[in-house]
């Protein structure tokens, strides 16, 4: 009798625990729906952030003309286009099709869904104050949108950055400056990047520069740098386990940006090209 009673009590407790757990799961689900924004765009689209230079320029002009903050305008434009600018949509069409309907486009998104995208774009635009190469070397380099091009060294993968090439292919002649303020988090040889520098900004974004010929004497791990400080010289180091290997590819700077964002819990890189074009024009 005593043991039967104990057994019933035990079963009752189990039932209670199951019901309580179900309530907790349901509660968390509902709270998540209410308080956490939903992902509006596939993360790979956000990473590749395809937008032409002409469109960026036009958005910049329209931001002045209509007095809309540029980061906000760019965020809604990218969201509206799924982070993939359809080339048919350029120049005067942006004003007719996008700006004229801007308020209704804006109100078609929930603000809390938009916030993480806005924060991502705004913090990078805010932090990058200079192009990584000073304007006195403007005729010495060339670059385009090289995000996503296939790479084979170290296994099949896609290019997650932007390459700025030395037109003359001469290592060690073009100084590279930090685009942002921050702390030098990584310095030294890595197999793919050769002599590389990784700088963490105050907002937690990570800026990665690779293939240096040599470093500036002024930088060291853990030390802070200011935007515009020379961090090293363009080179062709990398693609080897042997430190100091040069010449496995043409002389260039690889720029990578890994933003601190709630949009991805894994290592996440975003296409630096639009940001480079924006800051280059400002100089």
| Interface with Zn ion (CB under 5 A) | 161, 163, 254
Give the separation between CA 197 and CA 266, rounded to whole angstroms: 21
Neighbour tally for 189: CB within 10 Å: 16
CB of 231 to Zn ion, least distance (A): 17
Give the separation between CA 80 and CA 93, rounded to whole angstroms: 14
Using DSSP's 3-state secondary structure scheme, residue 142 falls into strand
Conformational region of residue 221, where left means phi above 0, alpha means psi within -120 to 50, and beta covers everything else: beta
Residue 62 or 253: which CB sits closer to Zn ion?
A: 253
CB of 71 to Zn ion, least distance (A): 26
Give the separation between CA 15 and CA 3, rounded to whole angstroms: 18
- Residues 182 and 222 sit within 8 Å (Cβ to Cβ): no
Residue 161 or 259: which CB sits closer to Zn ion?
A: 161
Residue 127's nearest CA partner among 180, 164, 171 is: 180
CB of 213 to Zn ion, least distance (A): 15
Residue 21 or 248: which CB sits closer to Zn ion?
A: 248
Give the separation between CA 259 and CA 201, rounded to whole angstroms: 10
Which residue's Cβ lies closest to Zn ion? 254
Neighbour tally for 144: CB within 10 Å: 12
Residue 122 or 191: which CB sits closer to Zn ion?
A: 191
CB of 271 to Zn ion, least distance (A): 12
Residue 118 or 147: which CB sits closer to Zn ion?
A: 147
CB of 102 to Zn ion, least distance (A): 36
Give the separation between CA 170 and CA 210, rounded to whole angstroms: 16
CB of 270 to Zn ion, least distance (A): 14
Residue 119 or 160: which CB sits closer to Zn ion?
A: 160
């Amino acid at each position: 009798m005593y043991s039967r009673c104990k057994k019933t009590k035990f079963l009752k407790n189990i039932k209670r625990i199951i019901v309580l757990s179900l309530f907790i799961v349901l509660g968390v689900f509902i709270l998540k729906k209410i308080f956490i924004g939903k992902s509006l765009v596939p993360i790979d689209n956000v990473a590749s952030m395809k937008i032409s230079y002409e469109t960026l320029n036009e958005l910049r002009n329209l931001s002045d003309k209509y007095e809309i903050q540029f980061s906000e305008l760019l965020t809604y434009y990218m969201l509206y286009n799924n982070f993939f600018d359809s080339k048919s949509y350029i120049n005067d069409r942006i004003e007719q099709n996008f700006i004229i309907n801007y308020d209704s486009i804006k109100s078609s998104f929930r603000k809390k869904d938009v916030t993480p995208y806005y924060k991502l774009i705004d913090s990078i635009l805010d932090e990058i104050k200079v192009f990584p190469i000073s304007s006195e070397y403007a005729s010495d380099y060339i670059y385009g949108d090289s995000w996503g091009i296939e790479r084979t060294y170290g296994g099949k993968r896609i290019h997650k950055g932007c390459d700025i090439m030395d037109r003359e292919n001469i290592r060690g002649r073009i100084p590279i400056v930090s685009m942002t303020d921050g702390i030098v988090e990584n310095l030294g040889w890595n197999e793919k990047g050769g002599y590389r520098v990784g700088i963490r900004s105050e907002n937690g974004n990570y800026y990665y520069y690779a293939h240096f010929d040599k470093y500036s004497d002024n930088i060291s791990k853990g030390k802070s740098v200011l935007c515009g400080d020379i961090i090293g010289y363009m080179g062709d180091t990398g693609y080897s386990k042997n430190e100091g290997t040069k010449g496995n590819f043409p002389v260039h700077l690889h720029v990578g940006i890994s933003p601190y964002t709630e949009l991805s819990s894994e290592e996440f890189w975003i296409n630096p090209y639009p940001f480079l074009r924006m800051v280059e024009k400002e100089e």
